[in-house]
Every structure is written in C-alpha cells, then in structure tokens.
Chains A and B, each alone.
Chain A
Amino acid sequence: MAEENKMIKFIITRQDDPDGKPYEEEFAVPYRENMNVISALMEIRRNPVNAKGENTTPVFWEMGCLEEVCGACSMVINGKPQQSCTALVDQLEQPIKLEPMTTFPVVRDLAVDRSRMFDSLKKVKAWVPIDGTYDLGPGPRMAESKRQWAYELSKCMTCGVCLEACPNVNDRNDFIGPAPLSQVRLFNAHPTGEMHKAERMDALLTEGGLQDCGNSQNCVKVCPKGIPLTTSIAAVNREATIHSFKSFFGSDYHN
C-alpha cells in the first residue's frame, strides 16, 4: 500500500530552556491512520531523529487528558492556537507547523507556563466559597435553564488560547485576558456565588482587569469550547457599570 511509506512533515519551533533562543527543526513522521498531533509528537519522542537524519533531543510538550478538557496541550498549530490532542493530522495542511503559545513564558519547546491564568482566577475569586466550620445546609436552587447556560461557561479549561489571540495580552499590558472575565460572570450567576458578587467585581476592576479589553473579539472566535466570551465581557461590563454607580451613589453597603 502506498499509505505505508507516507511521511508527515513537521516544522517545530523549539527552545532548549526558558531563556533559550527559539529555533526551528524539521521532522518527518511515518503516517498512521487517524493520527493527531500528539501521536506524531509521541513518535518523535520514541525516535528523536530530525528530517536530516540527525539525532536530536525529543521534542517536549505538555499533555493531560487527551480529550480536550484539560487545556494542557495547547499550542499554535499552523498559525492557529488550539489543543494538539484534537488537532487531527488528516485535517491539517502540510508541512504542519508547531509553535508554542508565545503569550506565555516558554518552559521548553512547546510547553508553556500558564501560571498567570491561574493567578488571575485567584485574583478575581473565581470560586464559590462554601467551606466553613459547620454545615451550611443546602444552597438556593438554580433554574434548570440557567444551569444549562452556566454549564457552557463552566467548560473553560484555562487553556490560554483566548489569551494567545488577544492583542491586548502582551508584554506591555498586564491585562488578565478574556477567560477569567467570563469566569466572573459564571460565579456571579451562581445562586451561592452571587453572595460574593461585589467582592469579585472589586477585584475584577483593579489594574489589568476588565477595562483592558479592547473589543477585538478574537477570543470568542478561537475558543475551542465555543464559550460566548465577548457576550460575557459585555455582560460583566454592564455589571461593572451598575457596581460603580452603586458604590458611588449608593449606600455604604451593597452586594
């Protein structure tokens, strides 16, 4: 069969350490049916020889779930930031170009450090606080229709693709990016999470927060989970307007 000898060409942007200079290396990987980018990377790891036939170090990348729910294997594939687990070789133009998401500090090769996203989630208090010293009892019920809607927002896996595509997330700007903004909307909508809405809004409007969005709307186009990020941003914008008015004109307490 002709299929047997078919090789897939990869051009991979590599970097040996966090401060290293990025360089490109080409690889040819034998084709197998239904291959994804990760299986090709595994093949390179098994046999770390570049397209020139020279021995090289195995390409390093991160992965977790292999089913597009953890976000760890995100990288820029043929110019588009996405998860390498669901990037199918049959659907990609060759040579396949793999680059790290450069919005984040590169750890090595295709692996990046997404810590800033987790720090942002902590900053905006993207959780529902229920822990205490005694049983608080059941929380208020949530309408099923609202639960279904909230589920869509909860699909965010902090993969970083929206930050990679955002023109305002860069070295000169400390914008926290689209993902945490939508999480604020999610947790503010939760019947128990709502009790900490004002606290979350206060955190969201600090330096690098919501106001740094420039409405390029790239985020909503690239989100692999189809999260309505720009709708969320506009919704939190409205919340921020109301929050500011209440803080300024309202009483000394509001939630």
Chain B
Amino acid sequence: MADQEKREYNLRRLHSLLGVIPIGLFLMQHLVVNHFSTYSEEAFNTAAGFMENLPLRIVLEFGLIYIPILFHGIYGVYIAFVSEMNLGRYGWFRNWMFMLQRLTGIITLIFIGWHVWETRLANAIYGTEVNFDMMASILSSPFMFWFYVIGVLSAVFHFANGLWSFFVTWGLIITPRSQKIMTYVVLVVFVVFGYMGIASLIAFAS
C-alpha cells in the first residue's frame, strides 16, 4: 500500500541523491580534468585520454552519466514547472536561491544537451576526434565561448546550491546555524569549481 503512495517521495529523494552521486561527483571530476588545459595542450590530452580509456567506458557513461542526468534533468523540469516564483513579494536570499536553482537547472539542461551532442555524440556518429584542438575551435567563436561560460557557471551553481538542498533534504543539517555554515561551504564549492571551469575555457580559447 505505502509503496505506491510514496512514489513521489521516492522519486524526489532519488532526484536529490542522483544530483550529488553520481552527477555532482562526475561534474567535479570533469572540471578537474578540464583544468589540465591550463597547464598545456599535452597535459589536457593526456588527462582526457586517461578518462577515455577507462575500462567499460560505455557502461560507466550510461550508468553514471547519461541515465542519471536524463532522469535528474527531466524530473527537474517537472519540479521547476510545479513551482510558482514569488520573488516580487518575498525577495529573501533563500527564495532567490530557490528561483536560481530552477533557472540554472533549465539552462544547464540545454547546455548539457548541446555539449553532449557536440563533444560526444558527434564522436560516436561521425568519429570526430575529441581533444584540445576540438575545444579550441569550438570556443574560438565568441558566441560559443559565452554560451559555455554561462553553461558552466549555471552547472556549477546548480551543483553547489543543490548540494546545500541535498544536506537539508536528507536531514543532515537541521539547525539554522548549520544551514548557514553550509551556505558558506557551498559558496566555496561554487567559487573553486566555477574558477576551474572558467580557467579551462579561457585556456582552450587562447
């Protein structure tokens, strides 16, 4: 009886969990690998090559990336759809975060769709080679550069703020004080990974 009725609860908890494990972990890993581009072209190609040659790559990709992101993204759009923004009347910090979490989620979904097409599906279908040069040529267009900047910052924001919500959702931070401290912790997460993302983009583009 209860299992059927708790479908929504289970989906929401799954959505929250997947956002951090594995999607959040993958995002951090991805930004760390990309950051090698700031050292040199070879360093990036070596780091990316290491990831590319992991055993059972296709299983890892589907199990840890595609399926979780598809679920998180599609269910996330639904979550955004069933909320009604009311910042005009209640312009407090957490309400802003609430709105931005949904907005960056949608932007990130669009960005990831494009990004996966360009850097993964194109490789799978046409055999386009994925390396430093490929990113350099994509980001040589100013439009694409700014599209990537917005996409990367949205993704990192969505992860950092989502990490905060994750801690609340699972009941790990309860008191206002612990929630406040966590706000600062995720701010650091946002700054560090946002910096790594932007630094990589600049390294690719220049």
Contact = CB atoms under 8 A, between A and B. Distances in A.
Interface of A: 79-80, 165, 167-168, 170, 172-173, 202, 205-212, 214-218, 221-222, 228, 230-231, 233-242, 244, 247
B167 to A, nearest CB: 9
5 contacts: A167-B98, A207-B7, A216-B90, A221-B90, A230-B176
Contacts, number: 104
Contacts of B84: 167-168, 170, 172-173
Contacts of B95: 167, 216-218
In order of increasing CB-CB distance, the 5 nearest A-B pairs are: A238-B171, A216-B98, A217-B94, A211-B12, A237-B171
B90 A222 contact: yes
Contacts of A233: 168
Contacts of A202: 2
Contact of B86 (A167, A231, A236): A167
B94 A168 contact: no
Interface in B139-169: 164-165, 168-169
Nearest to B89: A79
A152 to B, nearest CB: 14
Task: Place the interface of chain B in its size category.
Answer: 35 or more
A168 B6 contact: no
The majority secondary structure among interface residues of chain A is helix
The majority secondary structure among interface residues of chain B is helix
A111 to B, nearest CB: 21
Interface stretch (B18-26, B32-40, B75-83, B106-114): B75-83
A214 B173 contact: no
Contacts of A242: 171
Contact of A221 (B92, B165, B174, B179): B92
B174 A214 contact: no
Given A218-B90, A222-B90, A238 B172 contact: yes
A211 B179 contact: no
Nearest to A209: B9
Given A172-B81, A211-B8, A238-B172, A244 B98 contact: no
Given A206-B6, A221-B90, A238 B170 contact: yes
A235 B12 CA distance: 17
Given A211-B12, A215-B165, A221-B92, A168 B171 contact: no
Given A79-B89, A167-B84, A214-B98, 4 more contacts: A167-B83, A217-B94, A234-B179, A235-B171
Contacts of B171: 234-242
Nearest to B161: A215
B168 A215 contact: yes
Nearest to A206: B5
Contacts of A240: 9, 171
A29 B13 CA distance: 53
Contacts of A214: 79, 83, 98, 101
A233 B90 CA distance: 19
A85 B28 CA distance: 53
